């Protein structure tokens, strides 16, 4: 399996769906998300698939950085996604919007980095009746994808049977708002494998309008990010680089540099 070095000592144990941490690394036992937890967001809520869909380790990193991360209100999370399919859908999360953070008074962005496997980071502008612009962003190991604040999004394992891992920067006092997604029975476009095993998309008819764009992982050099360098290492080299994640209102000039554009 092609993989990308995350920049600190962390390895997935695919048998237990936990992470193994090096001596200089802190991290928790993973929280588990099961198929029954996400059924209401599937195109077929009765579909069969792996019982354990994905595992989440919120707050991982190098021990020497823990104080600084707390002071900056930043948190790094790590995830393992199961292989297989759920009916004709790929393994995925149910989708949510980042809830308004008490620390900054706004929804906050998230910076993804794929470590192994392939992913589609799906995002849509809104979770109301009109979802607006939607994007299916295909990402491979080493690719970075930023979800803007206030956008509904979900993570899709596009490895077609294989497991997938990734890390992400987010605000430390994170929270999830599932209200709009659950009210519509899922995201505005459902991913599914067609009869030719190609990953395809079908509209969720509970939304009145939405336009889906398919793009590759964008270039974020305008934000100072360096392609091919782990985002954890980039934080280590420049501890202020991801401060916009914890409070985007302080950095309005950055927002336009990571909102996706239709093609």
Domain-located, residue 1: no
- Contact present, 33 and 55 (Cβ < 8 Å): yes
Give per-residue pLDDT as tens, 51-81. Answer: 999 999 999 999 999 999 999 999 999 999 9
Residue 2: pLDDT band (50, 70, 90) is: low
Domain-located, residue 222: yes
Identify the CATH number of the domain in which residue 177 sits: 2.60.120.10
The domain of 200 spans 11-248
Residue 263: its pLDDT value, please? Answer: 54
Domain-located, residue 218: yes
Give per-residue pLDDT as tens, 69-120. Answer: 999 999 999 999 999 999 999 999 999 999 999 999 999 999 999 999 999 9
Number of domains comprising the chain:
1
Domain-located, residue 40: yes
How far apart CA 197 and CA 204 sit, in angstroms, is: 20
Return phi, psi of residue 93, to 5°. -85, 170
Average pLDDT rounded to a whole number, residues 152-157: 98
CB atoms under 10 Å from CB of 225, counted, come to 21
Phi-psi category of residue 150: left, alpha or beta, with phi > 0 → left and psi -120 to 50 → alpha:
left
Give per-residue pLDDT as tens, 7-57. Answer: 999 999 999 999 999 999 999 999 999 999 999 999 999 999 999 999 999
Residue 1: pLDDT band (50, 70, 90) is: low
Residue 165: its pLDDT value, please? Answer: 98
Q: What is the DSSP letter of 21?
A: E
Residue 134: its pLDDT value, please? Answer: 97
- Contact present, 101 and 149 (Cβ < 8 Å): no
Residue 217: its pLDDT value, please? Answer: 97
Residue 160: pLDDT band (50, 70, 90) is: confident
Domain-located, residue 5: no
Domain-located, residue 2: no
Residue 161: its pLDDT value, please? Answer: 84
Q: What does DSSP say about strands 52-58 and 74-81: parallel, antiparallel, or unpaired?
A: antiparallel
The encoded tokens of residue 34 equal 């099961």
Give per-residue pLDDT as tens, 184-211. Answer: 999 999 999 999 999 999 999 999 989 9
Domain-located, residue 67: yes
Domain-located, residue 255: no
CB atoms under 10 Å from CB of 156, counted, come to 25
């Amino acid at each position: 399996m092609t993989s990308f070095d995350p920049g600190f000592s962390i390895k997935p144990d695919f048998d237990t769906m936990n992470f193994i941490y090096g001596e200089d690394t802190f991290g928790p036992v993973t929280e588990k998300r099961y198929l029954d937890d996400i059924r209401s967001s599937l195109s077929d809520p009765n579909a069969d698939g792996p019982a354990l869909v994905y595992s989440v380790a919120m707050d991982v990193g190098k021990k020497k950085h823990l104080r600084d991360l707390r002071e900056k209100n930043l948190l790094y999370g790590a995830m393992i996604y199961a292989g297989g399919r759920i009916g004709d859908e790929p393994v995925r999360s149910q989708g949510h919007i980042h809830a308004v953070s008490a620390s900054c008074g706004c929804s906050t962005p998230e910076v993804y980095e794929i470590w192994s496997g392939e992913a589609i980071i799906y995002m849509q502008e809104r979770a109301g009746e009109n979802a607006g612009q939607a994007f299916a962003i295909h990402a491979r190991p080493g690719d970075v994808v930023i979800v803007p604040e206030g956008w509904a999004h979900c993570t899709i394992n596009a490895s077609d049977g294989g497991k997938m891992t990734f890390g992400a920067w987010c605000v430390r006092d994170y929270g999830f708002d599932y209200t709009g997604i659950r009210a519509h029975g899922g995201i505005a476009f459902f991913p599914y494998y067609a009869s030719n095993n190609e990953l395809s998309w079908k509209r969720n008819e509970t939304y009145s309008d939405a336009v889906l764009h398919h793009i590759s992982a964008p270039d974020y050099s305008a934000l100072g990010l360096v392609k091919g360098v782990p985002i954890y290492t980039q934080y280590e080299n420049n501890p202020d680089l991801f401060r916009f994640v914890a409070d985007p209102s302080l950095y309005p000039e950055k927002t336009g540099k990571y909102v996706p554009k239709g093609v």
